[in-house]
Amino acid sequence: MIKFKCVLETAGDGYWSDVAKSVNVTGLSVPYVNDEEDFGELCVYFDKQWDTRKDGLIYTDSLFLEMLRDKLTECGFDATDVDYSEQGMQGDNYVSLDVEEKFLKSWFNVVDKALN
């Protein structure tokens, strides 16, 4: 996981939550990439301020995804192919998203630069 600290907002328009509030994002990870490196999973971690038992899942919230894409782009990632994965992949402390080749190329590039 890499540190990725920012505050994103939810609109409360998701299928599993009607809560509109700030979400403190703490990190990112890419725990899965297929062999062709054209599909993977991005996990966006958040702190305990967002409680999935009380607030519901962030999954499908329009504002969170819009703000996340903007922040990723600002940080040098290509976020054009970042979108929510399926409901069953969501976690208690992270949002799961599908990513494709454009994002993965930028992920490897940004992480490689950070390590060197």
From the list 103, 102, 24, the residue with the least C-alpha distance to 58 is 24
Straight-line distance from the first to the last Cα atom of the chain, in angstroms, rounded to the nearest whole number: 17
Which domain, by its residues, includes 107? 2-115
Confidence of residue 112 (pLDDT cuts 50, 70, 90): confident
**58 pLDDT above the threshold of 90:** yes
Q: Mean of the pLDDT values across residues 15-40? A: 98
Q: What is the mean pLDDT of the chain?
A: 96
DSSP secondary structure code for residue 87 in this structure: G
**How many structural domains does the chain have?**
1
Confidence of residue 116 (pLDDT cuts 50, 70, 90): low
Q: Mean of the pLDDT values across residues 25-47? A: 98
Predicted TM-score (pTM) of this structure: 0.95
Distance CA 19, CA 3 (A): 25
- Judged on CB neighbours under 10 Å (0-12, 13-18, 19+), 115 is exposed
81 neighbors 27 (Cβ within 8 angstroms): no
**37 pLDDT above the threshold of 80:** yes
